[in-house]
Amino acid sequence: MDEISGIKENGAAAVGGIHCLTIIGQIEGHQLLGEDVKTTKYEHILPMLAAIEETEDVGALLILLNTMGGDVEAGLAIAELIAGMKKPSCSLVLGGGHSIGVPLAAAARRSFIAPSAAMTIHPVRLNGVVIGVPQTYNYFARIQERIVRFVTTHSRCTREEYLRLMTNTDELANDVGSVIYGEEAVEKGLIDSIGTLSDALDYLHGEIRKNGT
């Protein structure tokens, strides 16, 4: 892929440049999804993030997000890796940030959301499946707690507010949860700022200059 203004997607950039990583559609984990569903495979993303952190030519990471949910464990693994990077990182939510897209957005050092973008927040559940044993219920409760803890640790959103959004019964017709849009996501502390691509790039270039790379 040709370099554009020091940026390459899924490849090395010029010295001190920005690596652009796109996470779109369903995040695929251990269960394979249908060929008609766009997927981001976590086993491809994890080593890529490690390589970005170690590559001297890359000065910062830009994450473009338009997610539709997917494997929670896989999404949390990606989010944890992003949050643990030393290099400057910035997320930009475009279109929608469904379910696991929320911790992915919060994982970056700085987060932006497009004015028209939305974030969907709901509890961990399996559609159409009745939980028949206590062990299964406890498993989902523990995963949900991990998500709540991660989001509230890496954003300005309080635990009480995030749980309220997650369990809201007034907004989604066939589900429990909330859909919040750009300005509201910033107001509630889930995202740092309203912004577009230029805002995200300006932030990252400023961080690169601070680091002298």
Q: Which residues contact 212 (CB under 8 A, 6 or more apart)?
A: none
Residue 38 lies in a domain: yes
Q: What length does the chain have?
A: 213
CATH number of the structural domain spanning residue 109? 3.90.226.10
Q: Which pLDDT belongs to residue 73?
A: 84
Residue 125 lies in a domain: yes
Q: Which pLDDT belongs to residue 10?
A: 47
Please give the tally of structural domains in the chain: 1
Q: Which pLDDT belongs to residue 167?
A: 86
Residue 2 lies in a domain: no
Residue 194 lies in a domain: yes
Token output for 29: 């984990």
Q: φ and ψ at 99, to 5 degrees? A: 60, -105
122 is annotated as an active-site residue: yes
Q: Which pLDDT belongs to residue 41?
A: 80
CB 154 within 8 A of CB 83: yes
Mind giving me the DSSP string for 146-191?
HHHHHHHHSSS--HHHHHHHHT--SS-TTSSSEEEEHHHHHHTTSS
- Output the pTM of the full model: 0.83
Catalytic hit among 99, 111, 155, 178: 99
Pairwise CA distance, residues 141 & 137, whole Å: 6
Per-residue pLDDT for the chain (213 aa), expressed as one digit of tens each? 333 344 455 444 444 689 999 988 777 776 666 666 667 787 889 999 999 999 988 999 999 998 877 778 888 999 999 999 999 999 999 988 777 889 999 999 999 999 999 998 988 765 545 555 555 667 677 888 999 999 999 999 999 999 999 888 877 656 778 999 999 999 999 999 999 999 999 999 999 998 875
Catalytic hit among 19, 122, 154, 205: 122
Supply the range of the domain harboring residue 98: 7-211
44 is annotated as an active-site residue: no
